[in-house]
């Protein structure tokens, strides 16, 4: 089977970025199956546009976040989802404080509204700037700043973090 240069480049990109994109989608929507669906949908669209996109990695990240948010909004998803279809939570054998904190943060992050969560994931986990996040989500920079502040406030409230108390300890 002869593989074109375009197809070889696409395969290399998918091999290098698949896990990162799946993780980003999972952090955005909170469900591995929805994350997988979002990533595969984006990759199918990306393949068609492959030669016309300049910043493929940026385009893919932005598209995955939007697709993951869309996956959580679909009415059929809410209507047909049953508790028995969920995969069991993995057994955590390492119960160190850091692992517990990450799990607690992950659970809290899933309670943040999807758009706020997307901004927090892009800003703090993917390391994007306000400008890059605004471009990825196709919204004004001011919106990114407001969603960042509101998302962080929501996380603090969920986690029970008191800023006054924290500053007094430091």
The DSSP secondary structure of 35-51, one letter per residue, reads: HHHHHHHHHHHHHHHGG
Tokens at residue 33, please?
């199956």
**What is the Cα–Cα distance from 108 to 151, expressed in whole angstroms?**
11
CATH number at residue 110: 1.10.10.10
Mean pLDDT, residues 100-127 taken together: 88
- Return the SS3 of 8: helix
Residue 129 above 70 pLDDT? yes
For 48, what's the count of Cα atoms within 13 Å in the CB-facing half-sphere? Answer: 5
Instruction: Give the chain's domain count.
Output: 2
In a domain, 129, yes or no: yes
Q: Both 59 and 28 in a single domain?
A: yes
Q: Both 73 and 98 in a single domain?
A: no
pLDDT category, 79, cuts 50, 70, 90? very low
In a domain, 85, yes or no: no
First-to-last C-alpha distance (Å) of the chain = 63
What is the rounded average pLDDT for all residues in the chain? 82
Q: Both 144 and 117 in a single domain?
A: yes
Mean pLDDT, residues 72-88 taken together: 56
Angle CA 79–82–88, to nearest 5:
145
CATH number at residue 25: 1.10.1740
Q: How far is CA 1 from the centre of its chain?
A: 36
Domain extent, residue 5, equals 1-79
Q: Both 104 and 149 in a single domain?
A: yes
Domain boundary among 79, 112, 134: 79
CB 35 within 8 A of CB 43: no
Q: Both 5 and 56 in a single domain?
A: yes
Domain boundary among 27, 48, 79: 79
Residue 163 above 60 pLDDT? no
* pLDDT at residue number 94: 52
**What is the Cα–Cα distance from 63 to 51, expressed in whole angstroms?**
16
The dihedral built from the CA positions of residue 134, 138, 142 and 146, taken in this order, carries a sign that is negative
Q: Both 72 and 26 in a single domain?
A: yes
Whole-structure pTM value: 0.54
């Amino acid at each position: 089977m002869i593989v074109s240069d375009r197809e070889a480049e696409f395969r290399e990109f998918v091999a290098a970025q698949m896990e990162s994109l799946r993780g980003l989608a999972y952090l955005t929507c909170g469900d591995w199956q929805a994350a997988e669906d979002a990533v595969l949908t984006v990759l199918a669209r990306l393949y068609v546009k492959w030669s016309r996109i300049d910043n493929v990695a940026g385009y893919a990240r932005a598209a995955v976040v939007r697709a993951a948010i869309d996956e959580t909004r679909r009415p059929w998803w809410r209507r047909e989802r049953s508790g028995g279809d969920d995969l069991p939570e993995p057994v955590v054998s390492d119960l160190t404080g850091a692992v517990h904190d990450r799990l607690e943060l992950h659970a809290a992050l899933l309670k943040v509204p999807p758009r706020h969560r997307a901004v927090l994931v892009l800003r703090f986990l993917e390391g994007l700037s306000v400008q890059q996040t605004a471009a990825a989500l196709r919204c004004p920079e001011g919106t990114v700043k407001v969603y960042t502040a509101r998302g962080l406030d929501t996380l603090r409230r969920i986690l029970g973090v008191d800023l006054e108390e924290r500053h007094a300890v430091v």
